[in-house]
Structure 1
């Protein structure tokens, strides 16, 4: 009779543990309403979205001449250099520059993070110049930040009517 008791005990244990296993797999028993649940983003989509947000915040700060807001978008390693150059004669926040237009034209993965191409129009007096720039955005701990800014851009990026270029699919 021992084998029968063992089978009954195993079956009883399985029935007790089954609901817990199903909840652990996401089947039934959830406290969260599906309408309030946030859908998980794919890592690449999240990287592109976060990079775009950081660079747009920096461009907005540059347009508004808000040095503190611009600094807050940068990775910690860039703060000292930013503090020395931001309002200098050629800095992004120099008083004699105005930024009437700044638009993101492309976001793509690069060797050191997300590369966000932008087109920035700068006026100084009566002169207006439009320059392409590339911002490199990386993850620093749990947060995203701008890790670099360089001249250039993605020449293949074609801006759409809303100022956002289509990223090529790899």
Structure 2
């Protein structure tokens, strides 16, 4: 009878070991299949999603800073690429003209973003720009409106001052409220 008891004990021991191994490995196996929870949210390397307002402010700052950098460097193509497609034709006509942001006789020794806030047409980015023409330097406030166009962010308008009023954009278009 001893051999039978020994066989039963080995069989029971193997079943218990297999069951324990199955229980230990099942979360790993099920997690890899997408069952048993969202692995992306639980993993330590998962990044938290950015809030829409935070993303809007970040993207707006990036677009306007790139435009200011292009203005300082007199890189018309880089400046144009920050604008919404609707403004490209007007920008092409006026950017290097006598009063354009990229006019040869203007130098931009300093440009800084001073405020970003939501507005009626998108994010409003207030900027202080120093412009030198000859020996004269003038500091001017500008207000850029940045919006989402499809899946990308772009500058939809530029106006003098720091107030959210409708005014001319770099291409000469006027922002009007949507109907």
Interval of TM-score (by shorter of Structure 1 and Structure 2): 0.7 to 0.9
Runs of 4+ that moved beyond 4 A: 18-21, 29-33
Aligned length: 132
Ranges in structure 2 where 5+ consecutive residues have no aligned partner? 1-29, 164-179
Equivalent residue, structure 2, for 1:76:
85
Q: 1:147 aligns with which of 139, 156, 171?
A: 156
Q: Distance in 2 between matches of 1:70 and 1:46?
A: 21
Ranges in structure 1 where 5+ consecutive residues have no aligned partner? 1-17, 155-170
TM-score (norm 1): 0.73
Larger helix proportion of the pair = 2
Q: 1:48 to 1:30 in 2, by over 3 A?
A: closer
Equivalent residue, structure 2, for 1:116:
125
Q: 1:33 to 1:120 in 2, by over 3 A?
A: same
Q: Distance in 1 between matches of 2:147 and 2:41?
A: 35
Task: Compute the displacement of 1:43 (Å).
Answer: 0.3
Q: 1:22 aligns with which of 20, 30, 36?
A: 36
Q: Distance in 2 between matches of 1:30 and 1:139?
A: 27
Equivalent residue, structure 1, for 2:44:
34
